[in-house]
């Protein structure tokens, strides 16, 4: 059984960073979208393998103060999933195309109840009722996830029980969106959302190291 990281919010200076795995932390996504090519170009093949190994060690989710569930993608195709089920997932592998690990990395919220097919072709879409049931089953208050570009850098959905946060402003130098992050301060853990705009960066074209097939559409 692998650990689901639990950590506490406080008013102290942060002394550690907790990383979570996303859907792009996989060999297939790294190859298609350019990370593998950039690492190989700037470093070496050894580092390509090292990153792949590190990505397989990243936790799939976190819980802050036993109340806030943090994940990259979203929830599940079945009800009744407990934190203990997530802890039991063997994450030290490439993500499968179905099951709990896949859904944690790939799923998205939807504005209507129930579940539906994913616009991505992987994972699923889930409604506010699914969010509410998961929170109740696990005695949690809030879900924080990312995985989707938002114009203002964030969006609050599902009756305030789910926040999408996206920290990359002007995504791929094309979307014009703001970035955002959340600060949770003890003891009430009320989310304080901070937004910001993009700043100049080195002149590297978006997807410069991407798979040649993808560059055909730019």
CB distance 167 to 179 below 8 Å: yes
Instruction: Please write the tens of the pLDDT for every residue from 33-90.
Output: 999 999 999 999 999 999 999 999 999 999 999 999 999 999 999 999 999 999 999 9
Task: Over range 164-186, report the average pLDDT.
Answer: 94
CB distance 126 to 109 below 8 Å: yes
Q: Does 150 score more than 70 pLDDT? A: yes
% the chain with pLDDT above 90: 80
Domains of the chain with bracketed CATH: 5-215 (3.60.21.10)
pTM score, whole prediction: 0.88
Q: Tell me, letter by letter, the H, E, C secondary structure of the chain.
A: CCCCEEECCCCCCCCCCCCCCCCCCCHHHHHHHCHHHHHHHHCCHHHHHHHHHHHCCCCCEEEECCCEEEECCCCCCCCCCCHHHHHCCCCCCCCCCCCHHHHHHHCEECCCCCEEECCCCCCEEECHHHHHHHHHHCCCCEEEECCCCCCCCEEEEHHHCEEEECCCCCHHHCCCCCEEEEEEECCCCEEEEEEECCCCCCCCCCCCCCCHHHHCCC
Active centre residues (catalytic): 24
Mean pLDDT of the chain: 91
Confidence (pLDDT) at 217: 46
Task: Over range 2-7, report the average pLDDT.
Answer: 47
Q: Does 142 score more than 90 pLDDT? A: yes
Confidence (pLDDT) at 3: 43
Confidence (pLDDT) at 201: 83
Q: Does 171 score more than 80 pLDDT? A: yes
């Amino acid at each position: 059984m692998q650990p689901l990281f639990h950590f506490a919010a406080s008013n102290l200076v942060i002394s550690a960073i907790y990383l979570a795995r996303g859907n792009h932390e996989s060999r297939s996504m790294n190859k298609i979208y350019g990370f593998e090519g950039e690492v190989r170009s700037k470093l070496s093949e050894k580092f390509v393998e090292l990153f792949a190994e590190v990505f397989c060690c990243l936790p799939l989710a976190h819980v802050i103060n036993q109340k806030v569930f943090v994940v990259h993608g979203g929830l599940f195709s079945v009800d009744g999933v407990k934190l203990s089920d997530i802890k039991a997932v063997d994450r030290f592998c490439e993500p499968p195309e179905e099951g709990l690990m896949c859904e944690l990395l790939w799923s998205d919220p939807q504005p209507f109840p129930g579940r539906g097919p994913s616009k991505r072709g992987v994972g699923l879409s889930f409604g506010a009722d699914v969010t509410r049931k998961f929170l109740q089953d696990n005695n949690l208050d809030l879900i924080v996830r990312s995985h989707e570009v938002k114009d203002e850098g964030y969006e609050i959905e599902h009756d305030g029980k789910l926040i999408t946060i996206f920290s990359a402003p002007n995504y791929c130098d094309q979307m014009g969106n703001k970035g955002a992050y959340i600060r949770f301060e003890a003891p009430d853990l009320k989310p304080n959302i901070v937004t910001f705009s993009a700043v100049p960066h080195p002149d590297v074209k978006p997807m410069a190291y991407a798979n040649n097939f993808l560059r055909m559409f730019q």
